Amino acid sequence: DDTLGVFHTHAIAGVLGGALTGLFAQPDLSSMFLPNPSFKGAFYGHGMQFVKQLVGASFIIGWNVVVTSIILLVIRVFLPLRMPDEELLIGDDAAHGEDAYALAGQGQREKSTKNGNNFFAEARNLSPV
C-alpha cells in the first residue's frame, strides 16, 4: 500500500529519468555542465553512458532495499510491524477509527465499517469517570 505515491514519484521517475539521460544526453549541453565533454547519450554515439546509468540505478535500488530492511529490523525490536490477528479480523479502518482513503466524498467518512461496527464509537460517547 503506497498511500503517499512514493514508488511512482521517486522510483519510476528516478529510474526513467536516469535511463533517458543515458540515451538522450546531448554533447553540447553536457560540455556546458561537465568537465569532460565526452559525456554523450547512446543516441549520440556513447552507449556506455546508458549502461552506467542503469548500473547506478541498480546500485541505488539495492542500497535502498538493504538500508530499509535494516531500519525495519531495528523498528521490529521495539514495535510490531504487523497488526494482531484480532484487529485484522475487524478491519484496520475500524481498529484505527479512521479511513485510509476517504472515498465517500470531500473529507466525509462512512458511518460504519463493512461489518457494521465502528470500533471506537462507544469509547467516544463515554464521559470521563
* Residue boundaries of the structural domains of the chain: 6-78, 85-125
Burial 6-16 (b: 16+ CB within 10 A, else e): eeeeeeeeebe
The pLDDT of residue 30 is 78
SS (H, E, C) 53-95: HHHHHHHHHHHHHHHHHHHHHHHHHHCCCCCCHHHHHHCHHHH
Condensed to tens digits (0 to 9), the pLDDT of residues 99-123 reads 666 666 555 555 555 555 554 455 4
The pTM assigned to this predicted structure is: 0.64
- Report how far residue 36's alpha carbon sits from residue 46's, in angstroms, rounded to the nearest whole number: 13
What the block records as the C-alpha cell of 69 is 530492511
Least confident of 8-17, 28-37, 68-77, 96-105: 96-105
**pLDDT tens digits for range 47-60:** 898 999 999 999 99
